[in-house]
Every structure is written in structure tokens, then in C-alpha cells.
């Protein structure tokens, strides 16, 4: 039963083929069996989850379906919250986020919280506080970050769905490395409240990692929507995303790119093969597919402004965490990456932050013009091939930051623009490691992404051997 997606599990519960307790106990047993090696789940609430089953209404659409929450964002009242950091040891959440409340109202049963790098600021999940999360396809390899714990858990079949978030690729990168579906929604599609208004100047968005397109669509339907006080709202969708699954998208004009146009990202044969294969598949489905990309992707200034905004937000987080836990954060408590960003941000002026924001505003408008001529962009989900644990070294900051910049080169631009994009598991290396490809739509067009992704999934069903 656990190898089925969340919608199939929910249907089995409503048909009486399995009870919520049986489903939850099976997920607990699988976590206990697999997590000692994978290290995906850092906080467990198994007894609480079992005790909550009887209170779930029989009419709840996902009654009894197990889920895991990323331990960054996705706050749940009464539960621990570490964000991958030693700075938050002992902290308990006072108020659940809107998304968590909606998931529980829908009948999902929260089994625990998943591993993430400290404050979500890198693309591999290897925090000092909790240790590395291992990839279910090869435990020597990274599951990605910052939603690496969630992705490893879903790929391994612990649960069918887990929450995630994405500030520079943190849904799409782990989805790529773990062979999953990962959709970063449009900015403002999912509220960050009530605990915050926006993350990283709006770069960060909440979403899910799943094994099927339909699970991703149904889950986003549950948590999407404006809440009073939100700083912005995404364009309205014509209907629920779940209803877009299986709808023919029509003949689309799709541009693709295999090598980064900025010319400073090393080329990768596996990424070329992944994108080229996906381009041929899309062409066979009747779409017009040509080699093309938005010219602003080549702008060498992008990493500088993007990095400055992230660093400034890390510096602000130092102050926020200090207030939350009741004592100031000493920068020595932070991992070297975050310490360096906080120290660097201290040299930035307020005017420089505003200038970086204005630059990204202009970048967003320049990028948007391309989608007036094309419907979708096809690109790698990750700018590097699958990598082993330790490839992002904490003791060599220059190498770590350089490799991270290469890794997010195809994802971070769309956090800056706020556009939705989805990673699909369409390629494997000769060693069997997953490599995802990314489809990017115009602002607000998650409906188009779901239509095309479900078309691709039907033509080439996604395989998930690690979940069996």
C-alpha cells in the first residue's frame, strides 16, 4: 500500500480496503526500518499521530494518509522546530502555519519532521545538527537540499508525500536527485502566514515532493489561496489543479536549453542527455520544440544580486532566531556558510538591499517577455550531475559557494521571477541515479505545467524502484 500515491491510499481508506491505523502503522514501520541509514526524519511524533486518528472526520478527503513535514517553515503547534540548526535547540512552535492546518483538516496524519540544511541555505542536506540525509538510490550520494529529508523519505516509500519549500531550487533539486515530482508554485500561490509574510524577499515558496503529478496537483489545491495580510497573491487559476491532470495542453511552443547561457557553469553530458531526451519526448507528443532561452539567463550580474538578497535575509534571521529563543545568536554558533553570509551582509547598506531588489524587479520583467513568444522553457533541474555527500565542503567556503552557484544556475532565476516550474524524473545516469528536467511556465500558469506534466507522465510513466 505504501508504494501507492497519496490519492490511491486515500481511496483505499474510503473504500474500507485499509484502515487509517493500518496505513499509519505501515508508514511508521517503514520509517523505523529505513531511516537509520537514510536519516530523513529528524523529529518523530508516532504516538501522537496514532492518538489523533479517531478524531479525523470520515469525510476528510485524505483521511489517514501519512505525511511528513519539512523542518523549515511548515510550523506545527506544539512541535519542535530546528530548521537544521543548533541555534533552535529546545524551541517549540506556538502556532501552526496555514498550510499545516489545511493539511490536517484534509485528514493527513503528520508523522514527523524531515531533515534540512541549516536554515535551508544550500543544496545538500548535511547539517551539523542532525547529520547527512542519504539518497535512497545510493547512500553515498546526496538527496539534495534544502528539502532533502522530505525527498529521501518519499523516494524510499516511507510516505507518498512530504512538504517542501524552494528559495533557490530546494524543491526541484531534491526532486531531481531522488526521482520525484517537484513543483515550485508561483509567488503568492501559497501563504507563508501567519508566522511570516514572505521568505527571502519572495524568492521562497512552499510546495511538495511526490511520486505522481496528480498528488502534487491535489496537494497544492489544498494549501493554495490568499490569507488576510499576505503581501501579494498569485494570479487566479481557472479551476482546481487536480482537474487539469489528463487534460490535453494543446500544441505548445517550447524552448529548451542544455548548457547554461552564462558560460560559467561547466557542461554536463548527463544534463544534455536528460534535456535532449525530454525535448524529443515533448516533440513526439505534438509540441513545437526548438533550442531557445530567455536572453537574461546569460546576465552575469544575476548571481551577485541574488546572493546579496539571500545573505541579507540570513543576517535578518540571526536577529529573528535570537528573539524567538530569548537570547542573541553568536555567529560562532552558525555553520561556516551561514556565518560568512551574515558577516558579509553586515557590510551591506540598506540602499544596496533596495538596489538589489530593484535589479531583480527589472530582471523579472526582462525574463517575462520571453513567455510572450513561448509557452514553456525546458532546462535541467540541477546545474550539476548527481553528487556524493561531502561534495559541498564546509571547510572550503570558496569551493562550496562556487559549486552551489553552479547547482542552482537553472533554478534560482525563477525564484527571482516568481514563475512556477516543475521537475520531472525523466532520466537516469548509467549508475541508475535520477536526473530531473525542469519545465518553466509564465507567472500563474501552474495549470499549464500540470497539463503537460501529466501528459508526459502518461506517455512515459515515472518509475520509483527505491520506494518498493
Say if residue 312 is exposed, middle or buried (CB neighbours under 10 Å; 0-12, 13-18, 19+): buried
Distances (CA, A) of 254 to 108, 384, 451: 37, 23, 14
With contact defined as beta carbons under 8 Å apart, do 210 and 164 qualify?
Answer: no
Is 146 a catalytic site residue? yes
For the chain, report the end-to-end CA distance as a whole number of angstroms.
10
Q: CB neighbours (10 Å) of residue 437? A: 29
- Bridge partners of 345? none
Quote the Cα angle for 53-38-111, to 5°.
10
With contact defined as beta carbons under 8 Å apart, do 95 and 52 qualify?
Answer: no
With contact defined as beta carbons under 8 Å apart, do 421 and 297 qualify?
Answer: no
What is d(CA 343, CA 396) in angstroms, rounded to the nearest whole number?
17
Say if residue 468 is exposed, middle or buried (CB neighbours under 10 Å; 0-12, 13-18, 19+): exposed
Which of 85, 96, 142, 146 is an active site residue? 146
Which of 150, 170, 191, 268 is an active site residue? 170
Is 70 a catalytic site residue? yes
What is d(CA 59, CA 45) in angstroms, rounded to the nearest whole number?
24
Catalytic residue positions, numbered: 70, 146, 170
Amino acid at each position: 500500500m505504501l508504494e501507492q500515491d497519496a490519492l490511491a491510499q486515500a481511496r483505499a481508506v474510503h473504500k474500507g480496503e485499509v484502515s487509517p491505523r493500518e496505513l499509519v502503522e505501515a508508514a511508521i514501520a517503514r520509517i523505523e526500518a529505513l531511516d537509520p541509514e537514510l536519516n530523513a526524519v529528524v523529529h518523530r511524533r508516532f504516538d501522537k499521530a496514532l492518538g489523533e486518528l479517531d478524531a479525523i472526520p470520515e469525510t476528510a478527503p485524505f483521511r489517514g494518509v501519512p505525511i511528513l513535514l519539512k523542518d523549515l517553515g511548515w510550523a506545527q503547534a506544539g512541535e519542535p522546530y530546528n530548521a537544521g540548526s543548533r541555534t533552535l535547540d529546545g524551541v517549540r512552535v506556538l502556532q501552526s502555519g496555514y498550510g499545516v492546518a489545511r493539511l490536517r483538516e484534509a485528514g493527513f496524519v503528520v508523522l514527523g519532521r524531515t531533515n534540512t540544511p541549516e536554515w535551508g541555505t544550500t543544496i545538500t542536506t548535511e547539517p551539523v545538527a542532525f547529520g547527512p540525509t542519504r539518497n535512497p538510490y545510493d547512500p553515498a550520494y546526496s538527496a539534495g537540499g534544502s528539502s532533502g529529508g522530505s525527498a529521501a523519505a518519499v523516494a524510499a516509500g516511507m510516505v507518498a508525500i512530504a512538504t517542501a519549500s524552494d528559495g533557490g531550487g530546494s524543491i526541484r533539486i531534491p526532486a531531481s536527485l531522488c526521482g520525484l515530482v517537484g513543483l515550485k508554485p508561483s509567488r503568492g500561490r501559497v501563504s507563508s502566514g501567519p508566522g511570516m509574510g514572505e521568505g527571502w524577499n519572495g524568492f521562497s515558496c512552499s510546495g511538495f515532493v511526490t511520486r505522481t503529478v496528480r498528488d502534487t496537483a491535489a496537494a497544492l489545491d489544498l494549501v493554495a489561496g490568499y490569507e488576510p495580510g499576505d503581501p501579494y497573491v498569485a494570479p487566479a487559476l481557472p479551476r482546481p489543479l487536480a482537474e487539469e491532470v489528463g487534460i490535453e495542453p494543446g500544441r505548445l511552443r517550447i524552448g529548451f536549453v542544455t548548457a547554461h547561457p552564462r558560460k560559467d557553469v561547466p557542461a554536463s553530458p548527463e544534463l544534455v542527455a536528460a534535456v535532449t531526451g525530454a525535448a524529443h519526448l515533448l516533440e513526439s507528443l505534438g509540441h513545437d520544440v526548438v533550442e531557445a532561452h530567455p536572453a537574461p539567463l546569460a546576465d552575469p550580474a544575476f548571481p551577485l544580486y541574488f546572493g546579496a538578497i539571500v545573505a541579507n535575509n540570513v543576517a535578518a534571521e540571526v536577529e529573528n532566531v535570537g528573539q524567538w529563543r530569548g537570547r542573541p545568536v553568536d555567529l560562532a554558533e552558525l555553520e561556516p556558510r551561514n556565518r560568512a553570509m551574515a558577516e558579509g551582509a553586515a557590510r551591506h547598506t540598506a540602499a544596496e538591499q533596495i538596489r538589489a531588489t530593484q535589479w531583480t524587479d527589472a530582471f523579472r520583467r526582462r525574463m517575462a517577455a520571453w513567455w510572450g513568444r513561448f509557452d514553456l522553457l525546458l532546462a535541467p533541474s540541477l546545474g550539476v550531475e548527481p553528487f556524493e555527500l561531502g561534495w559541498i565542503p564546509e571547510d572550503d567556503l570558496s569551493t562550496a559557494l562556487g559549486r552551489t552557484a553552479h547547482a542552482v544556475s537553472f533554478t534560482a532565476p525563477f525564484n527571482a521571477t516568481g514563475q512556477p516550474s516543475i521537475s520531472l524524473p525523466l532520466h537516469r545516469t548509467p549508475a541508475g541515479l535520477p536526473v530531473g528536467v525542469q519545465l518553466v511556465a509564465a507567472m500563474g500558469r501552474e495549470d499549464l505545467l500540470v497539463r503537460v506534466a501529466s501528459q508526459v507522465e502518461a506517455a512515459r510513466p515515472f518509475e520509483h524502484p527505491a520506494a518498493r
